[in-house]
């Protein structure tokens, strides 16, 4: 059975007005929680008419891309680069690269000081997005809901630091009792295209029933990396230099030293880690970053990846959902059986003798 064809809807980024719909081949796209997704593909240009249409619609930095697979909307983002390529036989194509909607927030800087005192962290996040979209020409139509996390924060973002809004969102999320964020693409009940800021405290979760994936079975292949190079059981973070007296020695703010005594007592060697937050001037905020980083570094990083056939229940809507993975092989003679959250997906187009597949990136509980 042939995979449904892909096509791209090309829209004006600010108004989302449809400019054109073009076929695209060799599509490779990915989407993640905690990382900006991307798309690559080639718009074939077999004749003058299609070349004229593509030239008008494919404007890097100004054109929004919505990817349809069959009748379903699977991805959305911004066209950033366009490369015309002609092969030895004279076949012309427009090679395109796009980044998810989040990529826009990393290209917008904070030019005005923003202060929040005892404000829910999700409201601070939404306020940063509002700052972007309330500027002239800055509204790209990102919507959001209004639920809260119950975690109140104090934050001062100084215009002198010139941070990007995307980086501020990442830093705000990456503290103790933080949250996850992404911008998803879908059609609502009326068929309208939606860019939705998803905020999950502490995590983004979707779906109710687990999808069961077996190997051997629907799982074509898997990779299970265990990386201890970033493990640490002692951690200290470094903040901003707060001394304003130029005649005195300047030192950065330092967090408390977080040591996991139980880990060392269990037999692990002492391993140190550190992180920098050069715009953080409050001791409590820096300590919260250090504790969150120490917790994340406590165990070796385990990154399971499974390759499955695309279609059916395996769609980009699976991000944030839980799958039940069962593996039986020489390494797992008693069958690995566990539940894992899908935090990333990379889709590979069909090739000669190879079906269309998706690689799922899983989070170990």
Q: List, for residues 99-112, the tens digit of each pLDDT value.
A: 999 999 999 999 99
Asked if residue 117 and residue 194 are part of one domain, the reply reads yes
Instruction: List, as one string, the DSSP characters of 228-271.
Output: -TT--SEEEEEEEE----TTS---EEEPPPEE-HHHHHTTPPP-
Contact 65, 59 (CB under 8 A): no
DSSP state of 316: G
User: Which pLDDT band holds residue 4 (cuts at 50, 70, 90)?
Assistant: confident
Average pLDDT, the chain: 93
Q: List, for residues 206-257, the tens digit of each pLDDT value.
A: 986 789 999 999 999 999 999 999 999 999 999 998 766 666 678 899 999 9
Beta-strand pair 114-120/72-86: unpaired
Token couple for 344? 């990333």
Q: Give the pLDDT confidence score for residue 155 in this predicted structure.
A: 95
**Residue 108, H or E segment:** none
Asked if residue 315 and residue 221 are part of one domain, the reply reads yes
Residues forming beta bridges with residue 184, ordered by sequence position: 196
Asked if residue 65 and residue 15 are part of one domain, the reply reads yes
**Mean pLDDT throughout 121-129?**
98
14 lies in some domain: yes
Contact 323, 362 (CB under 8 A): yes
141 lies in some domain: yes
261 lies in some domain: yes
Q: List, for residues 133-154, the tens digit of each pLDDT value.
A: 999 999 999 999 999 999 999 9
Asked if residue 220 and residue 348 are part of one domain, the reply reads yes
Asked if residue 145 and residue 194 are part of one domain, the reply reads yes
Q: Give the pLDDT confidence score for residue 243 in this predicted structure.
A: 67
Q: Give the pLDDT confidence score for residue 63 in this predicted structure.
A: 98
Domain that holds residue 31: 6-100
Q: Give the pLDDT confidence score for residue 348 in this predicted structure.
A: 86
Q: How many domains does the chain have?
A: 4
Look-up: residue for tokens 């630091």? Answer: 161
| Helices and strands, number each (H, E), in the chain | 6, 22
Contact 152, 189 (CB under 8 A): no
119 lies in some domain: yes
Asked if residue 65 and residue 36 are part of one domain, the reply reads yes
Q: Does pLDDT of 96 surpass 80? A: yes
Q: Give the pLDDT confidence score for residue 3 in this predicted structure.
A: 67
Q: Give the pLDDT confidence score for residue 209 in this predicted structure.
A: 78
Q: Give the pLDDT confidence score for residue 5 in this predicted structure.
A: 79
Asked if residue 187 and residue 85 are part of one domain, the reply reads no
**Mean pLDDT throughout 161-169?**
96
Asked if residue 133 and residue 26 are part of one domain, the reply reads no
Q: Classify each residue of 57-74 as buried b or exposed e, where b means 16 or more C-beta atoms within 10 Å of its C-beta.
A: bbeeeebbbbbbbeeebb
What phi-psi label fits residue 191: left (phi over 0), alpha (psi between -120 and 50 degrees) or beta? Answer: left
The CATH number linked to 188 is: 3.55.50
DSSP state of 160: G
């Amino acid at each position: 059975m042939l995979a449904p064809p892909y096509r791209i809807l090309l829209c004006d980024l600010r108004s989302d007005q449809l400019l054109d719909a073009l076929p695209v081949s060799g599509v490779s796209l990915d989407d993640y929680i905690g990382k900006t997704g991307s798309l690559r593909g080639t718009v074939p240009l077999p004749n003058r008419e299609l070349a004229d249409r593509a030239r008008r619609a494919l404007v890097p930095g100004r054109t929004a891309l919505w990817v349809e697979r069959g009748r379903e909307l699977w991805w959305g983002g911004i066209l950033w680069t366009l490369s015309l390529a002609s092969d030895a036989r004279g076949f012309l194509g427009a090679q395109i690269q796009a980044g998810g909607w989040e990529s826009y927030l990393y290209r917008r800087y904070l030019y005005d000081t923003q202060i929040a005192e005892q404000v829910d962290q999700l409201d601070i996040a939404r306020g940063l997005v509002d700052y972007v979209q309330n500027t002239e020409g800055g509204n790209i139509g990102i919507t959001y809901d209004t639920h809260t996390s119950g975690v109140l924060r104090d934050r001062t973002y100084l215009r002198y630091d010139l941070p990007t809004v995307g980086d501020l969102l990442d830093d705000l999320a990456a503290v103790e009792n933080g949250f996850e964020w992404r911008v998803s693409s879908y059609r609502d009940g009326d068929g309208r295209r939606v860019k939705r800021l998803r905020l999950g405290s502490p995590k983004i979760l979707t779906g109710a029933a687990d999808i069961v994936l077996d190997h051997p079975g629907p799982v074509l292949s898997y990779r299970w990396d265990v990386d201890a190079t970033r493990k640490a059981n002692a951690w200290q973070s470094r903040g901003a230099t707060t001394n304003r007296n130029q005649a005195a020695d300047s030192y950065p703010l330092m967090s408390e030293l977080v040591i996991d005594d139980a880990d060392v007592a269990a037999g692990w060697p002492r391993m140190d880690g550190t992180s920098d937050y050069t715009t953080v001037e409050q001791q409590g905020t820096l300590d919260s970053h250090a504790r969150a980083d120490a917790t994340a570094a406590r165990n070796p990083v385990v990154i399971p990846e499974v390759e499955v056939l695309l279609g059916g229940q395996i769609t980009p809507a699976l991000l944030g959902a839980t799958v039940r993975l069962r593996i039986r092989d020489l390494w797992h003679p008693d069958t690995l059986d566990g539940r894992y959250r899908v935090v990333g997906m990379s889709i590979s187009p069909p090739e000669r003798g190879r079906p269309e597949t998706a690689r799922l990136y899983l989070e170990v509980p």
